[in-house]
Amino acid sequence: MMVQTPAYFKYYGSTFVLDTDSEGNWVGHRLNTDTGEFEPDNSPIVEVLLATSTSDVAVLDRDRFIWRTEEERGRLRGDGPVFALYETIDAMYEQKEREGRKSFTPEERALIRSIRRRTFKMWEEEAARRAAGEPPTFTVRRT
């Protein structure tokens, strides 16, 4: 089966990315919704590749993958600059609710999309720093 990688999925309650290693083998990474980090997990590979439209698995494009990942991470609490950005998004949702609006303006939606792209990149940079042995710049507090 030929699959363009990286490939992005919603896998039950989290996001999952399928990629290939340097030898061409499929490798999977699933979002840990308790830590916000992607962890190696090859167990869903066959299921995501064979999923039908009636399953709890869906193919996502990269933008939707980032949106869904950051929705999940935005539920976490912690210390550091990434969490200040999540609080900004939370405040926008609260304001919309207070005003009784059903949806965001196009400008608000664009701002949220921009913030989510930024927070996604911050997590990628954080993972690279930690992999290089550097200390964390933000921490997740267990709730």
pLDDT tens-digit profile of 8-52?
A: 999 998 999 999 999 989 999 999 999 999 999 999 999 998 887
Mean pLDDT of 51-57: 76
Better pLDDT: 1 or 139: 139
- CA neighbor of 65 nearest in space, from 129, 23, 124: 124
Better pLDDT: 50 or 89: 89
Which positions ≥6 away from 131 have C-beta within 8 Å? none
4 token code pair: 């363009």
- Per DSSP, helices labelled H in the chain are 45-50, 62-73, 81-98, 106-131
Mean pLDDT of 119-129: 96
- AA letter at 33: T
CA 55 to chain centre: 20
pLDDT digits (tens, 9 = 90+) for 106-120: 999 999 999 999 999
pLDDT recorded at residue 108: 97
Mean pLDDT of 123-131: 95
> CA torsion sign, 141 to 143 to 77 to 6?
positive
Mean pLDDT of 77-89: 95
* Phi, psi angles (nearest 5°) of residue 39: -120, 145
CA atoms within 13 A on the CB side of 32: 11
Q: Are 126 and 136 in contact (CB under 8 A)?
A: yes
- Secondary structure letter of residue 112 according to DSSP: H
- AA letter at 132: A
Mean pLDDT of 75-80: 94
Mean pLDDT of 47-74: 90
pTM of the model: 0.91
